Structure 1
């Protein structure tokens, strides 16, 4: 009887543990990296983009920005997006709290196959980022979606304006990387892509656009963007010490552009 009683107690404890809600982890930032994997991007360009992010996340200045924050850690996930039915989580939520974690994230990013294709559905990509943040299991002081693309057009899925408004209303900031170089990302837009990002895509307090206009500046643009996001540098702060392309900030949470 005692053995049976012990078994019953053990089963009850196991059941209680299994269904107990997970405790959210506090950290400085939840960051969704949404990278363009639409039809204009070939496999070589996918690898080039990933390498830029892998180099940036392991950069000493980026790691220093992470460790200098209140909690000294952030959570990052990398998603490639194409059409409305194609958003692939390449690397799931990973807590970066030092060089080893950053290196592991970078290695996973470079090893995964490409799975996202199709014409631009930026609205769908933004809503995917929102869902990932809401289900992350983390509790970031700040929550950011970072979208890179060689176009501001959204050809299918929910309207971009509607998706952007929903994300910003949830307290999530949208930043952007406007990619102008051919090898960095497919066919760069023949209009002012930085201005289009500022008007149509970014949103939330302190949101901004960084432009990559050549192969040489792509990794540097990604690095600069990550530092700005991780350190939460305000638009008014002098960021001349960070080398790389210029930054265009949103005027406020509702108005994009300068």
Structure 2
């Protein structure tokens, strides 16, 4: 069934139902990630979505429910839905989402368009049959934008609509095409990707951190339970970084410049 068909199939009573958060999970599947990394990422999201701490965070919101959708992204034309807008208010709902993610088969695609992912996420929010008190786009990625419009332009569109963009920069070094990555990806995300009130990023420097990182990030996005958050991941190993309101000291076009310098590697002789 198409995304439009799935939306149409929702019961009429769900139209514009209020939820604490309307959350879009945008997951990087660019070819710089190895098949093993894609598997770890998939399993990490599956484990986080129905973790008891996450379910408890959902239940403690004003409405006690959230709406969430997920898609995979790489280049501008490489968007693949994982699941459509889904209401989560009980452990059984979360279990079904977890099973859906675990049953998916991510495939690596060329290029990295964070701007394209943000703009697609905005369309998903437009299509949401739920009224989120907060609207959040959650972007994971292992490299800077190198296709589509500049990422700060896409971010400005989101900020103008009072939509928060959070980040999960994957700063690992064992994937493919590492020549297109940058060592300070966390700074890039802080300056160029995330934005909006309370926005933050959680950098991941090794894949064994990923399950805890995505769990922690979901809890903060859903309801920010301080006591739970403080005991989950030591701050010194996985620090949270906040949005930097000025990009004057950082080149947010670094990914496009790297692509211009190295695109010859993908040209026919």
Q: Give your verdict on TM over 0.5.
A: yes
Q: Does 1:208 align with 2:200?
A: yes
- TM-aligned CA deviation for residue 241 of structure 1: 3.1
Q: Which residue of 2 aligns with 1:28?
A: 20
Partner Cα separation in structure 1 for residue 34 and residue 133 of structure 2: 36
1:7 corresponding residue in structure 2: none
Correspondence for 1:83 among 68, 75, 87: 75
Distance 1:212 1:57 in 2: 18
1:101 deviates by 0.8
Structure 2: how far apart are the matches of 1:67 and 1:44?
33
| Bigger radius of gyration | 1
Matches within 5 A, 1:1-258: 23-114=15-106, 117-151=109-143, 153-182=144-173, 187=178, 189-232=181-224, 240-244=230-234, 245-250=238-243, 254-255=245-246
Comparing 130-139 with 237-246, greater Cα deviation is found at: 237-246
Aligned match of 1:14 = none
Contact 2:49 2:215 in 1 (8 A): yes
Deviates more, 1:184-193 or 1:71-80: 184-193
Unaligned runs of 5+ in 1: 1-19
Contact 2:22 2:130 in 1 (8 A): yes
Q: CA deviation at 1:39?
A: 1.8
Which whole-Å CA distance do the structure 1 matches of 2:175 and 2:62 have between them? 34
Unaligned stretches of 5+ residues in structure 2: 1-11, 250-269
Which range moved further: 88-97 or 142-151? 88-97
Distance in 2 (alpha carbons) for counterparts of 1:40 and 1:211: 17
Instruction: Give 1:127 shift.
Output: 0.3
Report the TM-score, using the length of structure 1 for normalisation.
0.82
Q: Distance in 1 between matches of 2:93 and 2:176?
A: 27
Instruction: Tell me which residue corresponds to 1:3.
Output: none
Structure 2 CA distance, aligned partners of 1:185 and 1:99? 37
